[in-house]
Every structure is written in C-alpha cells, then in structure tokens.
C-alpha cells in the first residue's frame, strides 16, 4: 500500500470527527454557488458555512422559519 491511507480509514475518521449536512439545490445553482465561492477564494463548504454563520449572527427573523 506504500503508506497511503485507505479510503475506509479516511471515511472512519471523517464520520467520527465531522457532522454532515446535505443540501439540495435546483439544477445549475450549484455552479452559481461554486463561482461565488471561487471568486472569494473559498471552497463551497467554506462559503456556505460563512453564509450560515453570518445569517445566525444577524438573528434574522427569517432564519427561524422552518422550510422543508
């Protein structure tokens, strides 16, 4: 194996260390989000997390609505 970490070991580590959130967006919207993230030098994950935390800090009343 040459010292490479197996995918299974990486998956075990990620599952132990991180929570996972899946979002579903309309076709084409993923590319728009990725372009916005790229323009700021961020990954899509960093961009989405920044947007979520920004919304949480503003305590926007719309942030508390529950949408499916």
Work out the pLDDT band at 5, boundaries 50, 70, 90: confident
- For the record, the structure tokens of 58 come out as 């503003």
How far does CA 7 lie from the centroid of its chain? 20
Calculate the average pLDDT of the chain: 87
pLDDT digits (tens, 9 = 90+) for 14-38: 999 999 999 999 999 999 999 999 9
pLDDT number for residue 61: 58
21-60: CATH class: mainly alpha
Q: Tell me: pLDDT of 3 over 80.
A: no
The angle, 0 to 180 degrees and rounded to 10, between the axes of the packed helices 44-58 and 29-39 is 90
> What is the dihedral angle through the alpha carbons of 1, 12, 17, 22, rounded to the nearest 10 degrees?
110
Q: Where are the chain's structural domains?
A: 21-60
């Amino acid at each position: 194996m040459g010292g490479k970490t197996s995918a299974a070991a990486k998956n075990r580590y990620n599952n132990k260390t991180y929570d996972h959130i899946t979002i579903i967006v309309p076709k084409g919207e993923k590319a728009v989000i990725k372009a916005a993230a790229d323009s700021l030098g961020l990954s899509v994950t960093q961009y989405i997390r920044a947007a979520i935390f920004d919304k949480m800090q503003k305590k926007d009343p719309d942030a508390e609505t529950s949408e499916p």
